[in-house]
Structure 1
Amino acid sequence: MAVAGSDDQKAAFRRAVNKVHAQVYSTPESPVSYHAFDPELQLWVAACLYKGGVDVYRTFVGEMDDEEADHHYRAGMAMGTTLQVPPQMWPPDRAAFDRYWRQSLDRVHIDDVVRDYLYPIVALRIRGIALPGPLRRLSEGIALLITTGFLPQRFRDEMRLPWDATKQRRFDALMAVLRTVNRLMPRFVREFPFNLMLWDLDRRMRRGRPLV
């Protein structure tokens, strides 16, 4: 939304997200202090989204030349500045971003509570849907392979997700198949679900319905 949306869509989505973020903050009983409007936390989220997008593009499309990479980087800034990240906080170029990324990775720590919360998401377990045993193991195995394959090693270690050369080969083989299938698909299918999300956002804006 922040990258591909129109100015009107971005403004509407910013207002909607701000309403939700206003409810996300620590209390005196919280083990750490936080607030969803914290620009440093938003910068980290935006950086993860940008980095993930680059990794996916590299996997399914290929390496970008410098001009294209710089264009994607400038566009990626909107994922932070659409909310509360001031433009001057976004690293000025890709080299500065790489330094910020490495330094931030060194600070990543995931405790047992957060790990237990995240693991079902990583394994693509959908609440309320109980798949038969063999199908569940297959689904979770594929989800874990894909998610773990894209994660930096620091996240794998903190999430205690095992990774080795065999898993890397399986990941590479699966990505090669998906890359071929992706290239054969028509553009509107390749752009799913983001094209659907923008259409749904317009529909909600016209009808005055909540956006988030």
Structure 2
Amino acid sequence: NEQVREYLTELCNLAFLEVRLGRLCRGIHRVLGRSFELITRGALPPEFRDLMHYPWTADDQRRFDRYLVAVRRLHRVTPWIWPLLWKSYLLDLRTRRHLGLRVF
């Protein structure tokens, strides 16, 4: 379905930020959108990429592989920060639910 494909593409290239938060996030979408889309598409199984009609070239694979190497290196030198990020996210989520605020 084309509508589903468009919706999922907006999620993976951060275009939804513009819709959700307006002009403020247009820059985020334009600066980071292509990188996030590459990372998201790279993490998908090839069968799903085919179903979504997402092209995937050898250059895309090389860029994705370089991204993975960089993330592995970053994780090795900053292992303590990742649990903190997840715990802060969960705390924010639980606080919003408790206060009756919108989560998304």
Q: Which of the five TM-score ranges fits, normalised by the shorter chain?
A: 0.7 to 0.9
Distance 2:92 2:6 in 1: 32
CA offset at residue 119 of structure 1? Answer: 1.1
Unmatched segments (≥5 aa) in structure 2: none
Cα separation, 2, equivalents of 1:195 and 1:131: 28
What pairs with 1:130-149 in structure 2 (closer than 5 Å)?
Answer: 130-131=26-27, 136=30, 138-149=31-42
Please state which structure has a larger fraction of its residues in helix.
2
CA distance in 2, matches of 1:148, 1:192: 27
1:194 to 69, 83, 86: 86
- Matched-pair identity in %: 35
Point out the structure with max Rg over C-alpha. 1
State whether structure 2 residue 7 is matched by structure 1 residue 117.
Answer: yes
> TM-score, with normalisation over the residues of structure 2?
0.75
Find the aligned partners of 2:52 and 2:9 in 1 and give their Cα distance.
8
Pairs aligned (count): 96
For structure 1, the 5+ residue unaligned runs are 1-110
**SS of residue matched to 1:179:** helix
Correspondence list, 1:38-53, <5 A: none
Pair 1:182 & 2:75 matched? yes
* Greater relative contact order (CA < 8 Å, ≥ 6 in sequence): 1
> Would the alpha carbon gap of residues 115 and 200 (structure 1) be closer, same or farther in structure 2, given more than 3 Å must change?
same
| Letter paired with 1:141 | R
Q: Given the superposition, is the C-alpha separation of residues 154 and 190 from structure 1 closer, same or farther in structure 2, using an over 3 Å criterion? A: same
* RMSD, matched Cα: 2.4
